[in-house]
Amino acid sequence: MDLDLDERTTAFRDEVRAWLAENVPKRPLASFDTAEGFEQHRRWEAKLADARLSVVSWPREYGGRDASLLEWVLFEEEYYAAGAPGRVGQNGIFMLAPTLFSHGTPEQRKRILPAMARGEQVWAQAWSEPEAGSDIAALRSTATRTDGGWLLSGQKVWSSRATYADRAFGLFRSDQDSERHRGLTYVMFDLRADGVRVRPIPQLDGEPGFAEIFLDEVFVPDADVIGEPGEGWRVAMTTANNERGLSLRSPGRFLAAADRLVRLWRETHGDTETALAARVADAWIQARAYQLYTFGTVTRLAEGGELGPESSVNKLFWSHLDVGLHETALELLGPDAELSGKTGWPEGWLFSLAGPIYGGTDQIQRNVVAERLLGLPRGQR
Amino acid sequence: MRFALSDEQRQFAESIDQLLSASDPAKANRAWAQGQHEPGMRIWQALAELGVQALIVPQQWGGIEATPVDLVVAFERLGYHAVPGPWVDTVAALPALLPEDHPLAERFLPGVASGETLASLVLRPHVPYALDADVAQARLLLDGAALRRFSPGQVLSSMDGSRRLFEPVPGAENEADTGADTGAGTVTAETEAAFDMGVLATAAQLLGAGQWLLDASVTYAKQRKQYGREIGQYQAIKHLLADVATELELARPLVHAAAIALGGDTAARDVSAAKVACARAAHLAARTGLQVHGAIGYTAEHDLGLRLTKVRALVSAWGTQAVHRTRVLRGMPEHGRVG
Ligand SMILES: Cc1cc2nc3c(=O)[nH]c(=O)nc-3n(C[C@H](O)[C@H](O)[C@H](O)COP(=O)(O)OP(=O)(O)OC[C@H]3O[C@@H](n4cnc5c(N)ncnc54)[C@H](O)[C@@H]3O)c2cc1C
């Protein structure tokens, strides 16, 4: 058991570190939930892609560099430690791309992945519906067979980035008589196609970070169905738990935030305030624990293991860590805690509050851990 | 990087489990609390045959010089089964306290390795009372930089009955000791090492105890029925247990990383981080375990209580949460990236 990096990995890490030191924008980009910020972020994604740093774990032919899972985790550490911009393309890169790698056709991969890697096409995830949040199998939006493809109708909601994004992917009920997990089809569609209306929804900070999507007989060709029609649930689920399931939140972000918290504590309080010191220590310990836990997962996967319900353990852990860490920072800031646009912490706090909700709420994750990891009996839903 | 236990380490843990599952440590624990040491000592001997006590003793003194990772693997199992006795003092801290050429090394370490010698250590200020000093042959007290013998004074009662604590009476004569100071006046580096090793072993014990509490609670939640259903079907119960599982899962890698870090610059910070996290997780496991069990868990007959009181005792043993958080704060780096 060791934590030593081999030569190849060290070289990769050093290269990444040097490139980021040179290229990370000196002034933070505008929020990607504004029109201006979105375009700035697209350009940043293109720049990353030019250096082959946009999607390091992908195969070379799609713009990646075949980086190992460990290298990807270290890349993320470097990325966030350098203060690099958030990834506007993350839904596509971390959710659609793995789905295409497992279930897509070669044609789909070639058409979609390189443009995604360069930020030329930014994707939104259209899973949630007004009546289907935690219970995603309750979805009602439909896909109806037509010549050479399907007609999509219905309504999606809470779709991150959809306000400015180009395309979206989601599940639709293709067999009207089916129930729950059966008869669903996984489809990609154009957010600017005829019959699509996107209504931006402002989030707590006032910016349209997510949106509602109304679909009225929107045509999608067969080429934009992933996997077999009717098999959408399986397509969605096999990738939800695959190794990139880890990618929703790698430790890099939390480590960087913990570093900033430690710095803030040293600057503002030193060792005078014991009540807050304990919370700072705990935040740091948890960020470190998550990093090490991830190294354990990476080792297991590299040795042929699979990622199961542990991804729910991950999610539960980091969502709490993130909120706690930001709340501690706000305490340290005192009266400055409410000032936006100055320290970044209040904005970070608002964002951290969404962690226990999106991607499956904490309650749903606890159900998964209890039933699938601990083997407790399923109860009434 | 390979951050996972080896097959040998897993097998080692399994053989400890097999041995302990067959030897009723809970019963030994209760006897130990009454001052009846025989059943506990039989387990002590049996574990010595597996090599547990010899793990970090130098080969020169009959040990096997295994890694600290092996040591924490063993201590997690000792904590799981609630094995009584001064394990941390004897097996983890004493070998670290006595460098190979120390005059007391030859005197005590071969006996530690073979399972004949038990140790009881007092490391002021964080380990002020002497555990099981009545059965220990090696009784050493660190006062500043001076290492001295002591004899057991007044017995104190711990909330964990199997932790028999004594006031140390320094320098007093007794049969086994000559009573003099050891002459080894400067043991500062070793004191640090012994403390870190003790902290780490305690953290691993806590982790094991927490895991037992979780396992027992899950088993109980699948059997116990109320309102016509297993209580494990209720989300109120599920969610409590899921949180315990999460805390334990994330505490374990801190223990392994701290074992790797021993001897290096970050040792103090890393063992303290492990102790804080394991104590938190085990304490949550204990509180949750009691809640899930209801009144049966509150009885002295049920094994849950053995862990519940032991966990709380260990939370404050070898440094409180505040002590260890302070050590973590002192050692936090400028950045947490690897390398
Ligand atoms: C910032 C943000 C971004 C998002 N981005 C996207 C996106 O890009 N694409 C997308 O498709 N969706 C997105 N979502 C939606 C998100 O996935 C859902 O909000 C989430 O799945 C919960 O669904 P809901 O909001 O309908 O809440 P509900 O499902 O109505 O839940 C309400 C409450 O009830 C609890 N609850 C529900 N069912 C159970 C149960 N069985 N047991 C116990 N408790 C239960 C929940 O935990 C929650 O506390 C985003 C959400 C947020 C906040």
The pLDDT tens digits for B22-65 are 999 999 999 999 999 999 999 999 999 999 999 999 999 999 99
**What pLDDT is stored for residue B229 in this prediction?**
96
**What pLDDT is stored for residue B338 in this prediction?**
64
Alpha helices in A241-378 (DSSP H): 252-268, 274-302, 310-333, 345-354, 362-368
- Indicate whether B326 pLDDT > 70: yes
- Indicate whether B15 pLDDT > 80: yes
Ligand 1 center to residue B325 CA distance, Å?
A: 35
- Indicate whether B182 pLDDT > 60: no
**What pLDDT is stored for residue A310 in this prediction?**
87
Q: Hey, of A70, A72, A288, which one would you mutate to test binding to chain B, going by the most B CBs within 10 A of its CB?
A: A288
User: Closest by alpha carbon to B181, among B136, B144, B129?
Assistant: B144
Residues in contact with ligand 1 by the CB-under-6-Å rule are A 125-128, 133-134, 158-160, 210, 354, 357-358, 360-361, 363-364, 367, 381; B 235
> Going by C-beta distance under 8 Å and a sequence separation of 6 or more, which residues neighbour residue A99?
A169, A186, A226, A235, A236, A239
The pLDDT tens digits for A130-172 are 999 999 999 999 999 999 999 999 999 999 999 999 999 999 9
- Residue B241 to residue A373, Cβ atoms within 8 A: no
- Indicate whether B186 pLDDT > 70: no
Closest residue, chain A, to B334 (C-alpha): A259
- Indicate whether A370 pLDDT > 50: yes
- Indicate whether B334 pLDDT > 80: no
- Residue A1 to residue B2, Cβ atoms within 8 A: yes
Mean pLDDT on A109-126: 97
Separation of alpha carbons B89 and B77, rounded Å: 16
The highest-level CATH class for domain A249-374 is: mainly alpha
The pLDDT tens digits for B118-170 are 999 999 999 999 999 999 999 999 877 788 999 999 999 999 999 999 999 98
**What pLDDT is stored for residue B146 in this prediction?**
80
Mean pLDDT on B293-309: 95
* pLDDT tier for residue B180 given thresholds of 50, 70 and 90: very low
Q: Which residue has the higher pLDDT, B173 or B100?
A: B100
- Do the beta carbons of residue A40 and residue A99 sit within 8 Å? no
pLDDT > 70: percent of chain A: 96
Separation of alpha carbons B280 and B287, rounded Å: 11
Max CA pair span of chain A = 72
pLDDT > 70: percent of chain B: 94
The Cβ of residue B301 has, within 10 Å, a number of other Cβ atoms equal to 8
- What number is the ipTM of this complex? 0.93
Ligand 1 center to residue B247 CA distance, Å?
A: 23
- Indicate whether B172 pLDDT > 70: no
The question of whether A243 is a catalytic residue gets the answer yes
Q: Which residue ranges make up each domain of chain A?
A: 7-87, 123-232, 249-374
Mean pLDDT on B55-78: 97
Separation of alpha carbons B15 and B282, rounded Å: 24
Mean pLDDT on A343-368: 94
- Residue B242 to residue A70, Cβ atoms within 8 A: no
CA angle at B260 for the pair B259 and B261, rounded to the nearest 5°: 90
A98: left (phi over 0), alpha (psi -120 to 50) or beta: alpha
* pLDDT tier for residue A381 given thresholds of 50, 70 and 90: low
Separation of alpha carbons B256 and B233, rounded Å: 34
* pLDDT tier for residue B194 given thresholds of 50, 70 and 90: very high
Token duo for residue B132: 């099981």
Separation of alpha carbons B312 and B155, rounded Å: 20
**What pLDDT is stored for residue A242 in this prediction?**
52
Q: Give chain B's domains with CATH numbers.
A: 7-170 (1.10.540.10), 192-331 (1.20.140.10)
**What pLDDT is stored for residue A244 in this prediction?**
42
pLDDT > 90: percent of chain A: 90
* pLDDT tier for residue B178 given thresholds of 50, 70 and 90: very low
Q: What is the mean pLDDT of chain A?
A: 94
Q: Which residues of B touch A317 (CB under 8 A)?
A: 246, 249-250
Given B250, B254, B337, which is nearest A317 (Cβ)?
Answer: B250
**What pLDDT is stored for residue B51 in this prediction?**
97
Mean pLDDT on A227-237: 94
The pLDDT tens digits for A199-219 are 999 999 999 999 999 999 999
Token duo for residue B290: 């009691």
**What pLDDT is stored for residue B3 in this prediction?**
97
Task: Please tell me the CATH superfamily of domain A123-232, with its number.
Answer: Butyryl-CoA Dehydrogenase, subunit A, domain 2 (2.40.110.10)
Please report, in angstroms and rounded to a whole number, the separation of the first and last CA atoms in chain A: 42
The pLDDT tens digits for A246-304 are 666 899 999 999 999 999 999 988 767 678 999 999 999 999 999 999 999 999 999 99
* pLDDT tier for residue B179 given thresholds of 50, 70 and 90: very low
**What pLDDT is stored for residue B101 in this prediction?**
84
Q: Hey, of A13, A285, A297, which one would you mutate to test binding to chain B, going by the most B CBs within 10 A of its CB?
A: A285
User: Residue B66: what are its φ and ψ, rounded to 5°?
Assistant: -75, 180
